[in-house]
Structure 1
Amino acid sequence: MKHVFIVNPVSGKADASLYLVPRLIDAAAGAGVDYAVELTQHAGHAAEIARQYGDDGEPVRLYACGGDGTLNEVFTGAYPYKNAEVASVPCGSGNDFVRNFGAAEDFLSLADNIAGTAVPVDLVAANGGVSAAICSVGLDSEVAYSIPKYRRLPLCGGQMAYNISIVERLLQPMGHRLRITVDDDVLEGDYLIATVCNGVAYGGGFRAAPMADLQDGVLDVIMVKKMSRMRIAGVLSKYKNGLHYQNGRVVPELSDVLEYRRAQKVLIEPMDGKTVITNIDGECTPADSLSAQVLPLAARFVLPAPLYAQFEDRAPAVTA
Structure 2
Amino acid sequence: MLAVTAHDHVPAGPVAVLANPTAGRGRHRGLLPRVLDRLADAGRPVRLLEATGPAEAEAACHAAVAEGAGALVAVGGDGTVHRAVQAVAGTAVPFGPVPAGTGNDFAVDTGFPADPLDAVEVIAGALRAGRSRPVDLARMAGVDGADRWYGAVLAAGFDAIVNERANRMRWPRGPRRYDLAILVELARLRPRRYRLTLDGVTHELDAVLVAVGNAASYGGGMRICPDADPTDGLLDVVVGGRFDRLTLMRVKPHIYQGTHVTHPLVRTFRARTVEVDAAGITTYVDGERALELPVRISAVPAALRLLR
TM-score, structure 1 normalization: 0.82
Residue 17 of structure 2 contacts residue 72 of structure 2 at CA under 8 Å; is this kept in 1? yes
| Aligned length, in residue pairs | 286
CA positional deviation for 1:35:
1.3
Which residue number corresponds to residue 94 of structure 2? 85
Which whole-Å CA distance do the structure 2 matches of 1:73 and 1:285 have between them? 12
Of 129, 145, 158, the match for 2:164: 145
Residue 12 of structure 1 contacts residue 67 of structure 1 at CA under 8 Å; is this kept in 2? yes
Could you list the per-position Cα deviations for residues 37-81 of structure 1 after superposition, in whole angstroms to 9, with x for gaps in the alignment?
A: 1132232333323332332446x1210111111111111111232
One-letter amino acid matched to 2:157: G
Which residue number corresponds to residue 6 of structure 2? none
CA positional deviation for 1:171:
0.6
- 182-191 vs 99-108, which deviates more? 99-108
CA positional deviation for 1:150:
5.3
Which residue number corresponds to residue 280 of structure 1? 285
Percentage of matched positions with identical amino acids: 26
CA positional deviation for 1:232:
1.6
Which whole-Å CA distance do the structure 2 matches of 1:179 and 1:53 have between them? 39
Which residue number corresponds to residue 132 of structure 2? 118
CA positional deviation for 1:225:
0.5
Which residue number corresponds to residue 269 of structure 1? 277
Residue 99 of structure 2 contacts residue 119 of structure 2 at CA under 8 Å; is this kept in 1? no
Of 154, 166, 170, the match for 1:135: 154
Which residue number corresponds to residue 157 of structure 1? 174
Provide structure 2 residue ranges, at least 5 long, that are not aligned to the other structure: 1-11, 142-146
Provide structure 1 residue ranges, at least 5 long, that are not aligned to the other structure: 246-250, 304-320
Which whole-Å CA distance do the structure 1 matches of 2:188 and 2:19 have between them? 39
Could you list the per-position Cα deviations for residues 253-275 of structure 1 after superposition, in whole angstroms to 9, with x for gaps in the alignment?
A: x23x11111101111111xxx31
Which whole-Å CA distance do the structure 1 matches of 2:124 and 2:291 have between them? 38
Residue 197 of structure 1 contacts residue 221 of structure 1 at CA under 8 Å; is this kept in 2? yes
Which whole-Å CA distance do the structure 2 matches of 1:109 and 1:196 have between them? 26
Distance 1:80 1:47, change over 3 A: farther
CA positional deviation for 1:109:
4.6
One-letter amino acid matched to 1:220: D
Of 9, 18, 21, the match for 1:6: 18
- 1:95-244 equivalences in 2 (<5 Å): 95-100=104-109, 101=111, 103-105=113-115, 108-116=118-126, 117-127=131-141, 128-149=147-168, 152-153=171-172, 157-158=174-175, 160-244=176-260
Which whole-Å CA distance do the structure 1 matches of 2:36 and 2:82 have between them? 23
Distance 1:107 1:301, change over 3 A: farther
CA positional deviation for 1:107:
5.8
Which whole-Å CA distance do the structure 2 matches of 1:86 and 1:46 have between them? 15
One-letter amino acid matched to 1:52: A
Of 285, 288, 300, the match for 1:295: 300
- 1:52-63 equivalences in 2 (<5 Å): 52-57=63-68, 60-63=70-73
Of 11, 34, 39, the match for 1:28: 39
- What is the DSSP-based 3-state SS (H/G/I as helix, E as strand, rest coil) of the residue aligned with 1:212? coil
Residue 126 of structure 1 contacts residue 280 of structure 1 at CA under 8 Å; is this kept in 2? no
Provide runs of 4+ in structure 1 moved above 3 Å: 28-32, 106-109, 148-152
Residue 41 of structure 2 contacts residue 124 of structure 2 at CA under 8 Å; is this kept in 1? no
- 42-51 vs 93-102, which deviates more? 42-51
Which whole-Å CA distance do the structure 1 matches of 2:45 and 2:151 have between them? 27
TM-score, structure 2 normalization: 0.85
Which whole-Å CA distance do the structure 2 matches of 1:151 and 1:85 have between them? 38
CA positional deviation for 1:21:
3.3
